[in-house]
Copies of this chain bind each other. A is one copy, B any other.
Amino acid sequence: MIKVGIVGGTGYTGVELLRLLAQHPNVELRAVTSRSESGMPVSQMYPNLRGRVDLPFTEPSLDNLGECDVVFFATPNGVAMKQVPELLDKGIKVIDLAADYRLKSPAQWQQWYGMAHASEHLLAEAVYGLPEVNREAIKTARLVANPGCYPTAVQLGFLPLLKAGLIDTQTLVADAKSGVSGAGRKAEVHTLLCEAGDSFKAYGVAGHRHLPEIKQGLAHISGQDVGLTFVPHLLPMIRGIHATLYARLTSDVADLQALYEQSYANEAFVDVLPAGSHPETRTVRGANMCRMAVHRPQGGDTVVILSVIDNLVKGAAGQAVQNMNIMCGLPETTGLNHIALLP
């Protein structure tokens, strides 16, 4: 059994990790920490876990985490970068679901997250945890930076075209839509039901924190810098991301559908739908899955890719468990075979 700890278990990625790990056949939950709720039973805050998670929240100390094999950070940005070094020193593997180790450049981190990096010596070592791109490196990683939700949907969508070198990399467009759970469980006015419900808007058009992460990832995949316009939007629902991606073909291509199907033929968690499909976010609700479809409207030279994930699963907790499985030598799908809840 893998002994697992979660730092910052009160947020939505935390409770989703708990849902997945409590049903994982090879995991023993040892500690769930929360500075603010220390002492409260986890299942009091999240009654869906009654009878399944019997731990209380505890202080995020080495006393509580020191005997874990793997520790997940489900904390706000800027927390993990301070606590990770001592865990690694103890030989504990770390998977950070926040952004702390995603950007390779400490200057970019400071620019987009507004604080100096507290452990920038680890940035080079940290492996970006997108298994479909970095599986080999993840196998041996001590520290995995779990990708953001938008970056997962966008990178998986563009990947086959970029690898094949078929598109203009300077004029990419990602029009992405997210459920409100992506904003977390903080008490804020703009995510109240009466503000975010029954309405729709874009946000962060001038620049969203996931932009540098996506550009870094796409550049890594394609081997060159990319130009990307990224517009996130807020959907009046809880879970789900839909990325609508636009790229211009520079070479002719016989069969986009085949290209996509072949690219992901061996991936358990990427599902290329039949030609002409329109994936719905509900088909991945609660499941560690990215479903996508590729279109070429009216046979023109613009390709449209539709890519959906559950932002809390393949976009966060599920992908983190997928990374844990890889790091621990388990079959990648262990504990991740949930079927999406539909309707």
Interface residues of A in 159-204 (CB under 8 A from B): 171, 173, 175, 177, 180-181, 185, 187-189, 191-203
What's the minimum C-beta distance from A162 to chain B, rounded to whole angstroms? 19
Give Cα distance in the complex from A28 to B283, angstroms. Answer: 23
Please name all residues of chain B whose beta carbon is closer than 8 Å to the beta carbon of A300 when the two chains form the complex: 227, 229
Give Cα distance in the complex from A233 to B200, angstroms. Answer: 12
Give Cα distance in the complex from A251 to B337, angstroms. Answer: 51
Give Cα distance in the complex from A201 to B233, angstroms. Answer: 14
Give Cα distance in the complex from A196 to B180, angstroms. Answer: 12
A297 part of interface (Cβ distance < 8 Å): yes
A205 contact from B47, B286, B306, Cβ within 8 A: B306
Please name all residues of chain B whose beta carbon is closer than 8 Å to the beta carbon of A117 when the two chains form the complex: none
What's the minimum C-beta distance from A333 to chain B, rounded to whole angstroms? 11
A205-B304 in contact (CB<8A): yes
B194-A343 in contact (CB<8A): yes
A19 part of interface (Cβ distance < 8 Å): yes
Please name all residues of chain B whose beta carbon is closer than 8 Å to the beta carbon of A173 when the two chains form the complex: 173, 246, 302
The segment from A103-111, A144-152, A234-242, A254-262 found at the interface with B is: A234-242
A39 part of interface (Cβ distance < 8 Å): no
Give Cα distance in the complex from A242 to B175, angstroms. Answer: 12
Please name all residues of chain B whose beta carbon is closer than 8 Å to the beta carbon of A195 when the two chains form the complex: 185, 193, 343
B12-A194 in contact (CB<8A): yes
Q: Would A282 and B246 be within 8 Å (CB), given that A187-B189, A205-B297, A343-B194 are in contact?
A: no
Q: Would A49 and B244 be within 8 Å (CB), given that A193-B192, A196-B193, A202-B278 are in contact?
A: no
* Per-residue B-contact encoding for A306-343, CB less than 8 Å = 1, 0 else: 10100000000000000000000000000001111111
Q: Would A271 and B50 be within 8 Å (CB), given that A187-B192, A236-B237 are in contact?
A: yes
Could you list which residues of chain A lie within 8 angstroms of chain B, going by C-beta atoms? 12, 15, 19, 22-23, 46-52, 171, 173, 175, 177, 180-181, 185, 187-189, 191-203, 205-207, 227, 229-231, 233, 235-240, 242, 244, 246, 248, 271, 273, 276-287, 291, 295, 297-298, 300, 302, 304, 306, 308, 337-343
> Can you show 22 pairs from A to B with CB atoms below 8 A apart?
A19-B342, A47-B291, A49-B339, A171-B171, A171-B302, A173-B173, A180-B194, A181-B194, A181-B343, A191-B194, A199-B281, A201-B242, A201-B280, A201-B308, A205-B278, A205-B297, A206-B297, A229-B297, A229-B304, A236-B236, A238-B343, A246-B246
Name the 10 nearest CB pairs between A and B, nearest first: A199-B282, A48-B340, A201-B280, A175-B175, A194-B343, A193-B193, A48-B342, A47-B283, A187-B187, A205-B295
